């Protein structure tokens, strides 16, 4: 009986959590837009969330592209098919690694920071003081952060893919001696604008939505103690990563499975 009760409580908590998260997002995003007041906040958050994540994205994109070039070459050269290195690097980056790795890095780099920041605002009662001053903390604190994450992550994913392809080109063509013209032309003939590029961008937009939402919700609902904030930050990274990987499978099955 006790176990049944605990199971019931757990499920109810889960459902209530989803409801809270949805209500938070609705309240933050729906309403009369006020560009003059919210644009500077948005720009500042773009800087914090997007620009400061650039370095880690560019460096990891370059290295992942270079590793792909190296690993792909050693396998493909056995079959005399090293000219397929270009499409291999480009397709794996555009379809999978670009959106997924960017989302994982983004969850670790920017998502955890968002959670900790909002959690600390809550713990030090800054959110309540905003409400005392008749400023809606959802509109003032949550909304610009959400939009900033939502806009910047697809851009980061594109930069990641572009830098990765260049990294693969550096290793494949510059070091291992794959013919430069073949590398690009075979890539061009097998990478499709709609199938590969657009689907990759759609993936990264979905991930951006999910990661930012989870990060903000975990911060907003954090227990306002130091232990609570640390737990919320951990939970952001774990939940976001698992959600990304699960969603990625579903999206891949929908886009490329048929």
Partner 1 sequence: MESRKTQIWVGLFVVLGVLALSFIALRAASGSAATAGETYTLYAKFDNIGSLKVRSPVKVGGVVVGRVSQISLTGEYYEPTVEMEISADYSQFSETSSLSVLTSGLLGEQYLGLQPGFIDDTVGMLEDGDTISDTKSALVLEQLIGQFLFSQGND
CA distances from 3 to 13, 17, 96 (A): 15, 21, 41
> Near partner 1 by CB under 8 A, which window of 11-19, 37-45, 210-218, 231-239?
37-45
Residues 6+ apart with CB under 8 A from 163: 57, 58, 61, 62, 65
**Collapsing DSSP states into helix, strand and coil, what is residue 15?**
helix
Of 214, 120, 230, 98, the C-alpha closest to 165 is 98
- Look-up of token digits 């994205």: 57
CA 80 centroid distance within chain: 37
Q: Which of 11, 74, 189, 230 binds partner 1 (CB under 8 A)?
A: 189
Q: Which of 125, 192, 234, 254 binds partner 1 (CB under 8 A)?
A: 192
Rounded to 5 degrees, what angle do the CA atoms 25, 30, 36 make? 115
Q: Which of 97, 104, 110, 191 binds partner 1 (CB under 8 A)?
A: 191
The C-alpha atoms of residue 160 and residue 183 are separated, in whole angstroms, by 19
CA distances from 188 to 66, 90, 150 (A): 19, 9, 29
Smaller CB distance to partner 1: residue 23 or 75? 75
Smaller CB distance to partner 1: residue 51 or 77? 51
Name residues contacting partner 1, limited to 199-258 (CB under 8 A).
none
The least CB distance from residue 106 to partner 1, in Å, is 14
The C-alpha atoms of residue 42 and residue 54 are separated, in whole angstroms, by 17
Smaller CB distance to partner 1: residue 42 or 209? 42
- CB of 49 within 8 A of CB of 114? yes
Between 53 and 92, how does the x/- string for binding to partner 1 read (CB under 8 A)?
A: -x-----------------------------------x--
The least CB distance from residue 83 to partner 1, in Å, is 12
Contact between 188 and partner 1 (CB under 8 A)?
Answer: yes
Tokens of 76: 């493909």
With contacts defined by CB under 8 A, how many residues of the chain interact with partner 1? 30
Q: Looking only at Cα atoms, what is the longest distance across the chain?
A: 70
Contact between 180 and partner 1 (CB under 8 A)?
Answer: no
Smaller CB distance to partner 1: residue 80 or 132? 80
> Near partner 1 by CB under 8 A, which window of 4-12, 105-113, 124-132, 191-199?
191-199
Contact between 152 and partner 1 (CB under 8 A)?
Answer: yes
By the criterion CB under 8 A, which residues form the site for partner 1? Answer: 40, 43-44, 46-47, 50-51, 54, 90, 94, 152, 154-156, 158-159, 161-163, 165, 184, 187-189, 191-194, 196-197
């Amino acid at each position: 009986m006790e176990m049944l009760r605990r199971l019931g409580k757990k499920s109810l908590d889960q459902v209530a959590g989803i409801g809270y998260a949805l209500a938070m997002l609705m309240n933050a995003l729906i309403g009369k837009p006020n560009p003059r007041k919210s644009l500077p906040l948005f720009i500042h958050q773009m800087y914090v969330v997007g620009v400061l994540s650039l370095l880690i994205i560019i460096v990891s994109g370059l290295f992942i592209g270079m590793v792909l070039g190296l690993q792909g070459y050693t396998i493909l050269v056995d079959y005399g098919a090293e000219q397929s290195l270009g499409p291999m690097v480009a397709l794996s980056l555009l379809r999978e690694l670009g959106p997924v790795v960017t989302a994982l890095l983004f969850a670790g780099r920017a998502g955890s920071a968002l959670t900790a920041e909002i959690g600390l605002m809550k713990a030090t009662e800054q959110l309540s003081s905003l409400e005392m001053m008749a400023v809606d903390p959802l509109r003032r604190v949550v909304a610009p952060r959400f939009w900033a994450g939502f806009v910047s992550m697809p851009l980061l994913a594109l930069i990641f893919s572009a830098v990765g392809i260049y990294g693969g080109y550096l290793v494949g063509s510059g070091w291992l001696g794959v013919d430069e013209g073949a590398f690009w032309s075979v890539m061009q003939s097998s990478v499709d604008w709609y199938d590969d590029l657009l689907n990759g961008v759609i993936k990264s937009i979905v991930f951006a939505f999910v990661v930012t939402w989870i990060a903000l919700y975990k911060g907003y609902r954090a227990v306002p103690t130091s232990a609570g904030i640390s737990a919320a930050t951990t939970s952001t990274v774990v939940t976001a990563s698992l959600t990304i990987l699960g969603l990625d499978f579903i999206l891949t099955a929908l886009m490329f499975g048929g």
